[in-house]
Structures are given as C-alpha cells and as structure tokens.
C-alpha cells in the first residue's frame, strides 16, 4: 500500500505527509491501513473547507490518528487513541513542533475514537472525529464492517433471528448486529455542520444496504 499512496496524494499537505507517513500505521489491519488514512484525510479536507480551523493541526492528527494498532477485540481497545496520542506527541516533538500545537494534535487524536468516549473540545478534534466516523458509515463502512467481522471470526447474521427480535444484539458474533448496535447510531453524533451533512448521505446508503441485505435472507 505504501507503494500505491505517497505524500503527493495528501495535497496540499505533501510536505507534512512526507514526514509522517512512515509513522501513520502499523500492523496488518486492512480496515485501519494507509488507504483508511487517505480516506479520512479526504473527508477531513472537505470538512475543513466548510468549517475552517488550523489545517496543519488537522492534517497531522489525521496522519497519526491510527499510529498505534490495537485489535477490535483487544482489552486495550479503549486505550488505543490515548496510546496513539502519546506516540504522535513524541513524533511531532522530534520534528520540532511547538508544544501548544503538539497538545492540539494529541487532543484531537485522543478524542477521535468511539471506544474512548471522550468529547472533543477543539474544532480540529471535532473535524477529525467526524472525518474518521464518515469512514465507518456508507458503503465503505459496510465493507469495513464485514472485513472486521471476518478478521474476528464472526458470522454474517444469526440464522434463526437475523433482526434480533427475540435475542440481545451480539455484534461480536454476527456482523449484521453491528448495524443497529453502532453504525446506524453514528450519524446522530457528528460534531460539525459539514460533517453532519455528509454523514446523513452515508447513513441513507447504510440503511438502504441493510434493507436490501435483509430482503435476501
């Protein structure tokens, strides 16, 4: 993937990307790989164009938000964004970034994660959270959901009760359960007006997919 995406693909932050891409990802999780970083970057640039804010802080936060890999089923999952924020702070300090800007990037990374459940307080943090969550819904979100389910050894759906009418949702065991358990709720919590508009479009695609899927089973 690194041969297919280069710093030039992160316009207008090519120089920053050249410094940070080597640190952007680790591990072999295809749902949090460099392609994911690139999609989140494109989402973030769309949101920043509508919302303003410090583009350098946002770009650095995007590039480093998944710099520590923690599997979805790891007991450390809720700590992933904290670990990434700490690692990113060290990387940026080594590049001579000012302490205030490092702190702003770290806050954005710390608060972007759904599992961390920490509210973003700055515009850049809100934009990163929105940009990252956009990649969890829509058609890309569907693909990532099933990719992760396969990676975790989950089934597609409960064959006797796929809609969880008479059982609790169990998205560790069944991929489709992840839609009502989490994905269909995400569009309600977007932090910026631009992000919310983009989220509504993707939420509609997510809902359509689930309707068509259920029709076939």
pLDDT at 162 over 50: yes
Other CB atoms within a 10 A radius of the CB of residue 56 amount to 15
pLDDT at 27 over 90: no
Give pLDDT tens digits for 101-129: 999 999 999 999 887 789 999 999 999 99
User: What are the φ and ψ backbone dihedral angles of 147, each rounded to 5 degrees?
Assistant: -60, -50
Cβ contacts of residue 37 below 8 Å, gap of 6+?
24, 25, 62, 63, 65, 66
Instruction: Decide which of 77 and 153 is more confident.
Output: 153
Give pLDDT tens digits for 164-195: 999 999 999 999 999 999 999 999 999 999 99
Cβ contacts of residue 99 below 8 Å, gap of 6+?
none
């Amino acid at each position: 993937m690194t041969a297919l995406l280069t710093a030039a693909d992160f316009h207008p932050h090519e120089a920053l990307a050249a410094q940070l891409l080597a640190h952007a990802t680790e591990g072999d999780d295809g749902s949090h790989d460099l392609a994911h970083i690139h999609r989140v970057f494109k989402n973030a640039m769309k949101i920043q164009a509508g919302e303003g804010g410090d583009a350098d802080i946002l770009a650095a936060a995007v590039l480093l938000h998944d710099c520590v890999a923690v599997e979805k089923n790891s007991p450390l999952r809720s700590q992933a964004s904290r670990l990434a924020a700490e690692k990113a702070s060290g990387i940026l300090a080594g590049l001579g970034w000012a302490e205030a800007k490092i702190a702003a990037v770290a806050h954005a990374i710390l608060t972007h994660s759904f599992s961390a459940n920490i509210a973003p307080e700055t515009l850049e943090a809100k934009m990163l959270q929105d940009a990252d969550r956009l990649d969890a819904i829509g058609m890309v979100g569907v693909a990532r959901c099933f990719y992760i389910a396969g990676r975790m050894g989950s089934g597609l759906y409960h064959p006797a009760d796929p809609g969880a009418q008479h059982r609790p949702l169990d998205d560790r065991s069944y991929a489709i359960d992840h839609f009502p358990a989490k994905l269909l709720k995400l569009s309600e919590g977007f932090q910026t007006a631009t992000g919310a508009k983009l989220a509504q479009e993707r939420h509609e695609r997510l809902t359509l997919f689930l309707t068509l899927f259920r029709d076939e089973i």
